[in-house]
Amino acid sequence: MNDISGSQATALLSFLQSESFILKEGERVDIDCGRTSAFGFVLRESVHCLAENEAALFEAAADEWFYVPHLSGFSVRNREVGTAEVLIIRFEESGALALGEQRTYSCRLPHSRMWAEAFAAAVDIPFESLPDVTRLTLQSHLYALTAAWLLRSKENEADGAKALLRLMERTYRLIGNRFNEPLNLEEMARESGVAASRFYQAFKEYTGFTPHKWITATRLNASLSLLSNSPASIMDVAHSVGYADELYFSRVFKKHMGLSPTEYVARANRRIANLCPVFEGDFKALGITPAFSPPRGWTERWQELMPRLRDAQPDIIFTQPVSEEILLELQRIAPVEMIIWKNSNLSWRDRLYRIGQLLELSGVADHWLTQFKLKAANARRLVRLVLGSTPFLIVSAHSSGYRVYGRLAKKMSDLFYDALGLTSPAAVQQIRILDTERLEDISTLCDNALLLVPDTFSERQESKLIADWNILHPNRAECLIIRHPAPSLYNASFYGGLVDETVSRLMEDEK
């Protein structure tokens, strides 16, 4: 049972007056409560209610209640064909009653019609003029109404949080899909039925960005590949990503990227040969598509590669460590940057920044890493919210079996256990990598698993994997699926995608 305790239970309520408003089609009435509060009840038809300077909109149907907080402007409008009637019950509240903190919405309350009828019978009659018995009755109805409203609010709190979460996810995806269109955030907030301040606050809580910053980040990220990979003018690119003013786009771009679009075009349009597949996602984070990228394993037939590499006419070549013979041949074609990435102290973040420096795009690398940090911090908050301190295995599934990433496997533990704050099981503290062909071999390590699956996995394979894990752990085990591009290449885009997918799955789980 829900409990209303403490100062709320001792709060004093004083009924003041009942008012009735008849609204024909299209009519609107403004309600100014001043220092008083009010409950509203729809006697006939349905109405649309606007609160907080039209920042929150909701519909109230017949027999539904709504709350009007003190010191707030509020209006009721009839958008239907029929005539609507609304009852307003004004009262004063003292003490620490938290009615004013309630989410603006409407709802039905059980057995409350008789309360509304009693208040309706006292419309426009001063409280002092009412008989003593009527005053006591209305006071008791006011307390009963308030208690019922608070109890319903508590019951709806979880549903309201989930609805808000769904709204934020839809808004996040809407911006991501329609960033190149004019977006009216104020209208989006108003139509959502959530107060504008709460809309902006919730968006940042759930995404790590304010709506405006997410729009800007999305537009700028999209502009990088357009500037580096197409012959379009800066004006065309600005228009393509949602900026009507080319000069404004240039100012925003330079503010965030540390260089102008013109400077970026000059540096990003160099012909780059990338001989290491792992670096592909780092170039992608910088908005660059290399002019030449050979298939994996090219070093085994490198002589066949050289004519094609010469024909590509690269300005610079990036490669993993190669033999001296291959290196000399590469240097005859173009300057070479050889980056050690395997078994190296150079993290993927450091590698991205180094590539950015080599291409004179360190500002772009900084921008990407700052965004990643914000996303990771948001994901960490969601991990705490949804998963708490529950330990999880990190397991990748592939066609030939499974791989457990223990606490010593830096490539994965640094992201999931350190950056995102996932709790590591005691059984993997001293493990780096554990490979096995059978799920049963790792099921004893922990009841819960974060399963990394390639995007080549079908939904049927994914469902079977979850079912198999749950069979091995029948007692409330959790299995969280995180999809990623195949193969697993440990670069900026790969890690950024893992964070995005983790957030998406956590939000789905929370809903």
Query: Three-state SS across 322-372?
Result: CCHHHHHHHHCCCCEEECCCCCCCCCHHHHHHHHHHHCCCHHHHHHHHHHH
Among residues 133, 172, 143, 191, the alpha carbon closest in space to that of 10 is found at: 143
Indicate the fold that domain 366-510 takes in CATH.
Answer: Rossmann fold (3.40.50)
Mapped onto helix, strand or coil, the DSSP state of residue 304 is: helix
The pLDDT, as a whole number, for residue 161 is 66
Same fold, 6-159 and 366-510: no
Q: What is the distance between the alpha carbons of residues 401 and 328, in angstroms, rounded to a whole number?
A: 40
Class of domain 6-159: mainly beta
Q: What is the distance between the alpha carbons of residues 111 and 148, in angstroms, rounded to a whole number?
A: 10
Domain positions in the chain are 6-159, 270-359, 366-510
Within 410-491, where are the H helices?
A: 410-413, 440-443, 459-472
Q: From first to last of its 511 residues, what are the pLDDT tens digits of the chain?
A: 344 444 344 558 899 999 999 999 889 998 877 778 889 999 988 888 876 655 556 778 888 998 887 766 788 888 888 899 999 999 988 765 556 555 567 788 888 889 999 999 999 898 889 999 999 999 999 999 998 888 877 766 656 666 777 778 778 888 888 899 888 877 777 766 677 777 888 888 888 889 899 999 999 999 999 999 877 899 999 999 999 999 999 999 999 999 999 999 999 999 999 999 999 999 999 999 999 999 989 999 999 999 999 999 999 999 999 999 999 999 999 999 999 988 778 899 999 999 999 999 999 999 999 999 999 999 998 899 889 999 999 999 988 899 999 999 999 999 999 999 999 999 999 999 999 999 999 989 999 999 999 998 888 888 899 899 989 988 777 889 999 988 888 999 999 999 999 988 887 766 5
Q: Does domain 270-359 have CATH number 3.40.50.1980?
A: yes
The pLDDT, as a whole number, for residue 403 is 95
For 377-433, give the DSSP string.
Answer: HHHHHHHHHHTTT-B-EEEEEETTEEEEE-TT-HHHHIIIIIIS-PBPPGGGTT-SE
The pLDDT, as a whole number, for residue 69 is 78
Output the CA torsion sign for 89, 90, 94, 99.
Answer: positive
* pLDDT tens figures, 471-486: 998 877 788 999 998 8
The pLDDT, as a whole number, for residue 6 is 41
Q: Are the beta carbons of 452 and 397 closer than 8 angstroms?
A: yes
Q: Are the beta carbons of 319 and 306 closer than 8 angstroms?
A: no
The pLDDT, as a whole number, for residue 509 is 65
Burial of 191 (0-12, 13-18, 19+ CB in 10 A): exposed
Give me the residue label for tokens 């729809």.
42
Indicate the pairing of strand 65-68 with strand 37-44: antiparallel
- Chain-centre distance for alpha carbon 462: 24
58 sits in which H/E element? strand 56-60
The pLDDT, as a whole number, for residue 191 is 65
